[in-house]
Structure 1
Amino acid sequence: MSNLSKILRIVGVLVLLIVGAWVIFHPVSPGTETVAHQRAIQGIAYGEQKPAAIPSMSGGIVNPVTINLADVEFEPIDSMYDRWLRGEIDLDEQEYRLPPAEVQALKESALNMGPQKGDSSPLALGESQPEQLAPTLLFGFDALDVSDCCGGGTTVPPDSDMAAGLNHLIVVENSSFAIYDKTGVLQIGPILFDNILGVSGTFDPTVMYDSEDDRYVMGIEDGAKFYLMVSNSSDPTGTWTYYAFDARFYGDEFFDYPHIGIGDHAIFMGANMFNGSVPGGYEGRIYAMDKNAAYAGAAMSWRSASTGGTGGTPQPLNLTGFQQGTVPQPFNTHFFITDQYDGHTADLWAWPNALGTGTPSIVQTYNLDTLSGWTAGFPIDPPQNGSTDLIAGNDWRFRGFEYRNGEGWTTDTVSFDFGSGTVDMVRYFRMDLSGAPYTALQVKGFGWTTSNMIFPDLAVDHCGNMAIGWERSDATIFVSVEFDGQLAGSAWVSGSPTQLKAGEATYFSFDGSPLRWGDYSGMAIDPDGKTFWYMGEYAKNISGYQANYGNYIGKFTYGCNVGSSPVADFDGDGDTNISVYRPSNGNWYDIDLGMTSWGLPGDLPVPGDYDGDATTDIAVFRPSNGKWYVNGQGTTKWGASGDVPMQCDYDGDGSDDIGVYRPSNGNWYILGSSFVSWGLTGDIPVPAD
């Protein structure tokens, strides 16, 4: 054997010994998880459940039960704290759609994401001048708090929501509800859901107002059954009808997080289903319930379908604008938005003929990272003032899905690093629902650079102005409530949020850090089409319970001019014509002259005699661009987003002048004249001779 061969053999043995020692003694813990790797793993895990290939239909018929709120007797019930002490529930067990270790890895990845800079980056609050005006706060009041749950017990998370009708507000929390008038005076309640339904262990309440039929709708669950409650009239303090049915498809899964939306012929609901016989341990599920039967107090049919393992937390579209005539009827195909739990993939589902034989399917998929130009991170758990206990930020599921003027709006919490470390911020997403291909119209994010925003909700008024509220927390403040908004036609929110309610104390709870908060808040648009109501949770200075949250309601507006049906002399015969303007399609209908197409959805009717010929001219004002379109007379740019059009003969020359009132500063701007300052922020213009 040559010396070279001997040397090579010795080196080979040494290499084997070194490698063996490294294998034996080297730690085998996995490396840091990344968002990209996590998304790849989720794709594999859900690979067998193609959303478009499901839909695993089910359904049934359920009989009504009538109840009178005045007859409900209060009886203390077991709170979640009581059940937690007995070991019956784990508050975090079904909060996420991934195992705890994978969720923690996503949070760590978010904390280490690093700054993202670019022209398309989210809006950093406090670092830029407001582009537009925020909604004007009119007043606010305290609503339900931790003491209203169970007769002395404590239930977390609060799960707060609200709805606004013609004369009443309904607010819900885990697990009670109360009814107020519109000045904030309590009319009835708090009433425990368990008491009114004669069951135990209900949670995840939601509430909506149906402006098409002037009814209130509430939903709640117990992990297996869903309870749908509808008011029997426009007065929610009277009698109600409820329907209870087992919402599970397999019969042994955990039914969670049901959220309702008002449709034209049905009340829709989406929910998460965990464990049991569910393939892969998770799926989303959507439901349609016959609202006409429910409002009639008759036996109600329902149908459901699966959205699969990637069709998570389905949010049903909630139709608003019936009273302003902006909802196309019949609205036979309903929509849902789902997320694939990767922070960027959103699926739009369409369900035609939901109460008949229709099958839901995905009609568009959106990549929100690509559309926005920046990468969203998994929500982190924010710190708070006065304690090392963190506030649970939960996850990046969508919260709500609102319809207005042919568009769909939704929002969620994501994390981002503006340069001072990772924080939770608000993202909102708007798409065209008037027809395929359901184009994405806007994906925006905004946040405080060193503070956190969690559990947002939004609504949109008749003019296309959006209002959005959230809860805020960081190491220097107690958990508080804020709101902002985006004027129609604007690219951003104002950037100057309003604090609705300051936190009063360090938050504590029996469940341990991160302390459960949320799981949602409630924004509602009044049926008047211009007034917003928002209920958010704050850390309250209250003792004697195992947590200290409160809810606060604010009323605010952009001063949208909803307009009215134009009644004027359109043919110059000296008599008033009976006429209407239909905002949903821009058509004018005159009983004598027939139909004239003049305007687009979202335009405001501004009929007037602009040329002084004693005949009323058909005209619209477009809030998105501040332009006036007068039939036969061209276009005039006069006004800005948020202005209220006020056409009138201000100079007495026999013709109407183009003018606007600006609620933000109380100024009147009349074309051809200098502006007049007359009014204060929030005033309502009333020009007259």
Structure 2
Amino acid sequence: MTTPLGGAPLTSLEQDPAMAGGDADSGDAGDLGPQPVVNRTIGRRHGHHGRNWMGHGRRAKSNPELRGGFDGLNFHDQRYANGGNQFSVEPPDQGLCVGNGFVMESVNDVLAVYDKSGNELVGPVDLNTFYGYPAAINRSTGAYGPSITDPSCYYDSDTRRWFQVVLTLDRVGTTSSLAGTNHLDIAVSQTANPTGAWNIYHLPVQNNGTQGTPDHGCDGGFCLGDYPHIGADNNAIFLTTNEFALFGSGFYGAQIYAISKKALVHGAASPNVVLFNGGDPNIPAPAFTVWPATSPDGQFAGARGGTEYLLSSDAVFYDSGTSNTLWLWSVSNTRAIDKAPTALNLDVSPLTVQDYAVPTSLVQQKPGDTPLRDCFALTGCAPTYLGYPNIVYPTPRPMAVNDSRMQQVTYANGKLWGTLDTDVLLADGTHGSGINYFVINPHSGGLFANGTLALPDANLTYGAAAVTRSGRGVIAFTVVGPDNYPSAGYASFDAKIGAGDVHIAAAGAGPWDGFTGIPYLAGNRPRWGDYGAAATDGDRIWTASEYIAQTCTLTDYLTAPMFQCGGTRGALGNWATRISKFEL
């Protein structure tokens, strides 16, 4: 523990040791800091060798579709929930679900419930408490609780129930060491009110032959059910994961879990579960981030005995970092999940789309106050107040964007809608990030719309799309560039025009100033999000985007209570989220 002069100390337990070094799904080797215990690495190169689309989109002059919004959860909420018995976590990873007059947001690692005016009804409550576990770290005793990450949520208007999913990694007792077992924890509300009681289910995903799991032979003896996401059709809830070796190296293919929706809703003790192993050599697709679709207002695909559609991309597997292929997955005969679960069928087929490419991993952001960066650069500041040696970075530090994995998928109006991030060429000749969008006919594999949303002078990243049952949608994302602090942006989305002009829902107040990417803290890879979120509620669409809602000087940062800048950030980060409402 360090002892700063004139304020409270920065503890020696700011980060979960199990996650030290950060999620490395799309990172490069050679971190200067300690390597993570959880190693989630897929090798790939940046997409500078394929076709790069120029940023040609337009900035809108007004925001006619926006009908309100409010700030959601932020870094300060995350770090100081549960009496401060939390770790500093970056990035937030957002879950958002909306229905029955409520808005629920979850991030790494807190949750809140609001009414539709943005009044907070519950929270911020830490996810360890929500799922009935001990605190992430008990700062009085030093005891560790399970390590929770990657939240997602979904409101099912068909059953009027809420579903909240996380990945949970067990510890060896109350020590910081991981036991190897890990599970998807599925919370299901007992009523249509998310502020009431929930049932909790635990689905083991270590897939090493223990606790009823199959043995996938992951290096080191335990698989990891990383990056879980949720979808649904009329009969089943679908959860997908990226399966990595937990204690070794290697990627073993995405996993698709179909679970009886009826059993979950009725609180059954042992709902039927069907697992499709994307790592099976008989499956033609390189299965990575296979994202299941959600459907607005119960508009599920009823063909072939009930069908769930999923999408994935594959550019990360090629040295060029480019591809013109998406993979369409479908699980059919889902109505058999309760009586004959082995009768569910999996089909996979390629779709030819516009070229897309893995974006350049780091982009420029607008200069401004960055007190964490400034403290590391100022002689004596970091050693005195943070307990680490000085290190000098550019002002401000470059910010990370997404790779080209599939993002949120929707089945609406008989079509399949999705986005992913792609490399684009900016007007100054540098490479940046834009958003490739798709509107697909899942029956024929044809495309209603396919294009790239990009700006000539800024980056768009972590797109999340939602669509109403009539086929009108919104893509939400972060806008960042030399003239833009990280801001919450959006564009309209339909099957005829594709994506519309870029709007700003909430402008960033300052630069990103987080701990990831700093040696001694989290290696050399900065982080910004893993995914945003969007949800449909009748003719309304709600989105949650990461942005920066605060700014403060180094003097503010070192003023008691230290590192909090008046309760707007934490010592090691300043991310925030913006929840926006659109009427279509």
TM range (shorter): 0.7 to 0.9
* Alignment CA distance shift 1:511-1:98 (3 Å): closer
**Residue 431 of structure 1 pairs with residue 440 of structure 2:** yes
Secondary structure at the counterpart of residue 293 of structure 1 = helix
| Counterpart among 36, 53, 57 of residue 125 in structure 1 | 57
**Residue 376 of structure 1 pairs with residue 347 of structure 2:** no
Distance 1:357 1:97 in 2: 38
What is the match of residue 36 of structure 2? Answer: none
Secondary structure at the counterpart of residue 198 of structure 1 = coil
What is the match of residue 502 of structure 1? Answer: 507
Mind listing any 5+ residue stretches in structure 2 that lack a counterpart?
1-9, 32-40, 134-145, 170-181, 210-221, 280-284, 368-394, 518-523, 551-567
Q: Tell me if structure 2 keeps the 8 A contact 1:349–1:360.
A: no
Q: What percentage of aligned pairs have identical amino acids?
A: 23
Distance 1:122 1:134 in 2: 24
Task: State the Cα deviation string for residues 261-315 of structure 1 (Å, max 9, x = none).
Answer: 1221111011101126999533111101111111111122212121128111111
The 5 Å alignment of 1:218-257 reads 218-223=164-169, 224-250=182-208, 252-257=222-227
Mind listing any 5+ residue stretches in structure 1 that lack a counterpart?
1-78, 559-689
CA drift of 1:142 comes to 1.1
CA drift of 1:149 comes to 1.5
Q: Could you tell me which amino acid in structure 2 is paired with residue 249 of structure 1?
A: N
What is the match of residue 545 of structure 2? Answer: 536
What is the match of residue 45 of structure 2? Answer: 106
* Alignment CA distance shift 1:232-1:93 (3 Å): closer
Count of residues in correspondence between the two structures: 457
| Counterpart among 331, 336, 347 of residue 351 in structure 1 | 331
Distance 1:475 1:104 in 2: 29
| Counterpart among 403, 406, 411 of residue 395 in structure 1 | 403
The 5 Å alignment of 1:289-308 reads 289-299=259-269, 300-308=271-279
Distance 1:501 1:81 in 2: 35
Shift >6 Å, 4+ stretches: 100-105
**Residue 316 of structure 1 pairs with residue 269 of structure 2:** no
CA drift of 1:455 comes to 0.5
- Larger Rg over CA atoms: 1
Q: Tell me if structure 2 keeps the 8 A contact 1:207–1:260.
A: yes
Report 1 or 2 for greater relative contact order, CA contacts < 8 Å, sequence distance ≥ 6.
2
* Alignment CA distance shift 1:533-1:399 (3 Å): same
Distance 2:230 2:89 in 1: 22
CA drift of 1:376 comes to 3.0
Q: Could you tell me which amino acid in structure 1 is paired with residue 437 of structure 2?
A: Y
Distance 1:212 1:135 in 2: 31
| Counterpart among 457, 475, 478 of residue 482 in structure 2 | 475
Task: State the Cα deviation string for residues 533-580 of structure 1 (Å, max 9, x = none).
Answer: 11111123234431001111111122xxxxxxxxxxxxxxxxxxxxxx
Task: State the Cα deviation string for residues 470-495 of structure 1 (Å, max 9, x = none).
Answer: 001112321111111134532x3222
TM-score under structure 1 length normalisation: 0.62
Q: Tell me if structure 1 keeps the 8 A contact 2:154–2:164.
A: yes
Distance 1:253 1:83 in 2: 26
The 5 Å alignment of 1:58-457 reads 82=13, 84=15, 87-96=17-26, 106-107=45-46, 110=48, 113=49, 124-126=56-58, 136-151=65-80, 152=84, 153-199=87-133, 200-223=146-169, 224-250=182-208, 252-275=222-245, 281-299=251-269, 300-308=271-279, 310-322=286-298, 328=302, 332-340=306-314, 341=316, 342=318, 343-344=322-323, 345-354=325-334, 355=337, 356-358=341-343, 360-368=345-353, 372=354, 374-386=355-367, 387-420=395-428, 421-433=430-442, 435=443, 437-457=444-464
Distance 1:424 1:385 in 2: 16
The 5 Å alignment of 1:504-653 reads 504-512=509-517, 514-526=525-537, 528=538, 530-541=539-550, 542-558=568-584
Q: Tell me if structure 2 keeps the 8 A contact 1:508–1:515.
A: no
Task: State the Cα deviation string for residues 491-538 of structure 1 (Å, max 9, x = none).
Answer: x3222x221111112211222254211111111111x2x111111111
* Alignment CA distance shift 1:303-1:314 (3 Å): same
TM-score under structure 2 length normalisation: 0.72
Secondary structure at the counterpart of residue 342 of structure 2 = coil
Q: Tell me if structure 2 keeps the 8 A contact 1:94–1:274.
A: no
Distance 2:344 2:300 in 1: 26
Distance 2:195 2:253 in 1: 37
Distance 1:84 1:375 in 2: 35
* Alignment CA distance shift 1:104-1:449 (3 Å): farther
Distance 1:142 1:81 in 2: 30
* Alignment CA distance shift 1:532-1:211 (3 Å): same
What is the match of residue 520 of structure 2? Answer: none
Distance 1:134 1:428 in 2: 21
